[in-house]
Amino acid sequence: MAAIQTKSLTKRFGDVVAVSDLDLTVEEGEIFGFLGPNGSGKSTTINMLLDYVRPTDGSATVLGYNAQMETQAVHERIGILPDAFDLYGRLSGRKHVQFAIDSKGADEDADDILERVGLSSEDADRPAGDYSKGMRQRVTLGMALVGDPDLLILDEPSSGLDPHGVREMREIIIAEANRGTAVFFSSHILSQVEAVCDRVAIMNKGELVTVDTIAGLREATGSGATMELTVDSVPDVSFADINGVTNVAIDGDRISVSYTESSVKAKVINRVEETGTTVTDITMKESSLEDLFETYTTHSDSQRTETEVRT
Ligand SMILES: Nc1ncnc2c1ncn2[C@@H]1O[C@H](COP(=O)(O)OP(=O)(O)OP(=O)(O)O)[C@@H](O)[C@H]1O
């Protein structure tokens, strides 16, 4: 059973097509990144999964339950970290978590949950009105973890966090996934997605432009990595027969080889050294996730398909 499955899911607000014909499957236990620039339809999709917004067309299931017809069953089995959740300033973090435990009828220990999200006992007893953004995120995430959900839906879990907070949030997400929980999270902080996600979907202007692993995206866009070799003499070799080499450029004593498969590196170096040339230095340049993201989302026509990207 899929954690999330949407079929032709569509939402129009008047003339604006916020989400168009979305077919998406998130498997059980998977960490799935839902990416896209502002206004690309991420929140609207999440809101349809939670039945906060009704689709114009299409359907969605969450943990096998119909998101529109079996909303209560969905909400009982998932944990949600909304985009902007206000804590009650006068209540402590511990009281918030305890409140979530009581209202879900769960029998968990608030302290265990607070420990899982890294909120110290001292901080947990202070009023939430005094909390930093990172501490508020921890409490909200703690509330989402109550009831041991099979799926966590996190809308921009890292927004407003400093790099340290982002790293900690990432560690919490990985720890929860290791407990078997599927995690579906929207983000535009691409480096975070790269570090934790099994797969990512990229939305642009309401349309799904691709679903793949990060490695798969690199391969599909041909924007793999470049290895630059500094050599003591320029060898007379060709790399054309090496699978995965996409470009070769020679400039003085430097040979730049772009490739999409990492096995290429050793083959290229061997080929150069077989000619008697000595490689004196090697530097690597991987295209960043930002580059990949740009490739998929800055196209003027959002109707682009995976096949077009590949060519
Ligand atoms: N209630 C609404 N009424 C009218 N238009 C809406 C409504 N909600 C969203 N939209 C529009 O739908 C489109 C998708 O918005 P959505 O909030 O889903 O994008 P997003 O990818 O979550 O963006 P962000 O990263 O900024 O949160 C936008 O053009 C937005 O203006």
Of the three residues 167, 183, 218, the one that is the final residue of a domain is: 218
Q: Are residues 60 and 119 in the same domain?
A: yes
Give CA–CA dist 210/199, Å, rounded.
Answer: 10
Q: What is the CATH number of the domain that holds 247?
A: 3.30.70
Instruction: Chunk the chain into consecutive blocks of 10 residues (it has 311) and report each block's average pLDDT, rounded to whole numbers.
Output: 96 96 95 91 95 96 97 92 81 94 91 92 94 89 92 85 80 88 84 79 93 79 79 89 87 87 87 92 77 70 36 28
Give CA–CA dist 259/98, Å, rounded.
Answer: 53
Kindly state whether residue 296 falls inside one of the protein's structural domains.
no
pLDDT at residue 288 in the model:
66
Q: Are residues 254 and 131 in the same domain?
A: no
Instruction: For residue 269, report the distance from its CA to the centre of ligand 1, in Å.
Output: 49
Q: Could you tell me how far CA 204 lies from the centroid of its own chain? A: 15
Give the residue, out of 42, 186, 208, with the most ligand 1 atoms within 8 A of its beta carbon, to mutate for a pocket test.
42
pLDDT at residue 196 in the model:
82
> Which whole-number Å values give the CA distances from 195 to 30, 31, 141, 145, in the listed order?
14, 11, 19, 21
Task: Let me know: does 221 contact 210? Beta carbons within 8 Å.
Answer: no
Q: Are residues 100 and 164 in the same domain?
A: yes
Q: Are residues 98 and 183 in the same domain?
A: yes
Q: What is the CATH number of the domain that holds 24?
A: 3.40.50.300
Count of structural domains within the chain: 2
Q: Are residues 82 and 35 in the same domain?
A: yes
Q: Are residues 23 and 152 in the same domain?
A: yes
Specify the residue with its C-alpha closest to ligand 1, atom 29. 39
Within 8 A by CB and 6+ apart from 197, the residues are 31, 32, 33, 214
Cβ(44) to ligand 1 under 6 A?
A: yes
Enumerate helices (H) and strands (E) in the chain, giving the number of each.
12, 14
Give CA–CA dist 217/5, Å, rounded.
Answer: 21
Cβ(250) to ligand 1 under 6 A?
A: no
Within 8 A by CB and 6+ apart from 193, the residues are 33, 35, 187, 200, 214, 289
**Could you report the predicted ipTM of this complex, rounded to two decimals?**
0.97
Q: Are residues 170 and 236 in the same domain?
A: no
Specify the residue with its C-alpha closest to ligand 1, atom 12. 18
Instruction: For residue 18, report the distance from its CA to the centre of ligand 1, in Å.
Output: 6
pLDDT at residue 300 in the model:
40
Specify the residue with its C-alpha closest to ligand 1, atom 18. 41
Instruction: For residue 206, report the distance from its CA to the centre of ligand 1, in Å.
Output: 9
Give the residue, out of 10, 40, 153, 293, with the most ligand 1 atoms within 8 A of its beta carbon, to mutate for a pocket test.
40
Specify the residue with its C-alpha closest to ligand 1, atom 3. 13
Domain membership of residue 212 as a residue range? 4-218
Decide: residue 72, CB within 10 A, 0-12 exposed, 13-18 middle, 19+ buried: exposed
pLDDT at residue 82 in the model:
77
pLDDT at residue 179 in the model:
86
